[in-house]
Chains A and B, each alone.
Chain A
Amino acid sequence: MRFKDNTMTTFLTKTVATATLIVGMAFSGAAIAASELHVEEQDWSFAGPFGKFDQAQLQRGFQIYTENCSACHSLNLLSFRNLMQEGGPGFSEAEVRAIAAEVSVLDGPDSDGEMFDRPGRLADRFPSPWANEEQGRASNNGAYPPDFSLLAKARAATRGFPTFVFDIFTQYQESGPDYIYGLLTGYSADVPADVEMLPGLNYNPHYISGVQIAMAPPLSADQHEYSDGSPQTVDQYARDVAAFMMWAAEPHLVERKAMGFRVLIFLLIFAGLLYLTKRKVFASVKH
Chain B
Amino acid sequence: MSGHSSSYDPQNGVMKWLDARLPLPRLVHDSFVSYPVPRNLNYAYTFGGMLSIMLVVQIITGVVLAMHYVASADAAFNSVEHIMRDVNYGWLLRYVHTNGASMFFIAVYVHIFRGLYYGSYKEPREVLWILGVVIFLLMMATAFMGYVLPWGQMSFWGATVITNLFSAIPLVGESIVTWLWGGFSVDQPTLNRFFSLHYLLPFMIAGVVILHVWALHVTGQTNPTGVEVKQKSDTLPFTPYATIKDAFALVVFFVVYAWFVFYLPNFMGHPDNYIPANPLVTPAHIVPEWYFLPFYAILRAVPDKLGGVLLMFGSIAVLFVLPWLDTSKVRSASYRPTYRAFFWVFVVVAIVLGWLGSKPAEGGYVIASRIFTAYYFAHFLILLPLLGIFEKTKPLPGSITESVLGDGGSKGGSAMPSGAAASPETKG
Interface set of A (CB-CB < 8 Å, partner B): 1, 3-5, 7-8, 11-12, 14-15, 18-19, 21-23, 25-35, 49, 77, 82, 149-150, 153-156, 161, 167-168, 171, 173, 175-176, 209, 249, 251-252, 256-257, 259-261, 263-264, 267-268, 270-271, 274-275, 277-278, 281-282, 284-287
Contact = CB atoms under 8 A, between A and B. Distances in A.
Contacts of A281: 240-241, 244
A113 to B, nearest CB: 26
Interface in B35-85: 39-44, 78, 81, 84-85
Contact of B283 (A11, A33, A249): A33
Interface in B217-261: 224, 236, 240-241, 244-245, 247-248, 251-252, 254-255, 258-259, 261
Contacts of B415: 285-286
Contacts of A284: 416-417, 420
B388 to A, nearest CB: 20
Question: What 10 pairs across the A-B complex have the smallest Cβ distances?
Answer: A260-B262, A26-B290, A154-B274, A29-B358, A26-B268, A274-B248, A156-B271, A25-B354, A271-B251, A150-B274
Contacts of A259: 92, 262
7 contacts: A23-B268, A27-B267, A33-B154, A256-B265, A257-B263, A275-B248, A287-B236
A268 B255 CA distance: 7
A12 B44 contact: yes
B398 interface: no
A176 B244 CA distance: 42
B272 interface: yes
B151 interface: no
A152 B265 CA distance: 14
B270 to A, nearest CB: 5
A240 B409 CA distance: 71
A188 B244 CA distance: 62
B91 A264 contact: no
B403 interface: yes
A4 B400 CA distance: 12
A19 B253 CA distance: 12
Interface residues on B, range: 35 or more
A49 B264 CA distance: 10
B113 A32 contact: no
B113 A150 contact: no
Given A77-B78, A256-B265, 14 more contacts: A18-B351, A22-B354, A33-B154, A34-B271, A153-B274, A154-B274, A173-B264, A251-B85, A267-B255, A277-B244, A285-B39, A287-B39, A287-B40, A287-B404
Nearest to A277: B244
Contact of B274 (A5, A82, A161, A249): A249
Contacts of A175: 271
Given A7-B224, A77-B81, A271-B251, A18 B287 contact: no
A286 B405 contact: yes
Interface centre among B267, B404, B417, by most chain A C-beta atoms within 10 angstroms, is: B267
B425 to A, nearest CB: 11
B102 interface: yes
B324 interface: no
Contacts of A274: 244, 247-248, 251
B266 interface: yes
Contacts of A14: 344, 347
B404 A11 contact: no
A132 B381 CA distance: 58
Contacts of B117: 11
B268 A5 contact: no
B245 A278 contact: yes
Nearest to A287: B39
A150 B270 CA distance: 13
Interface string B87-118: 00001100100000010001001100110010
Contacts of B340: 7
B98 to A, nearest CB: 12
B424 to A, nearest CB: 8
Contact of B92 (A30, A167, A256): A256
Contact of B42 (A8, A22, A251, A285): A8
A34 B92 CA distance: 27
B258 A264 contact: yes
B32 interface: no
Given A30-B268, A150-B274, A252 B357 contact: no
A256 B43 CA distance: 31
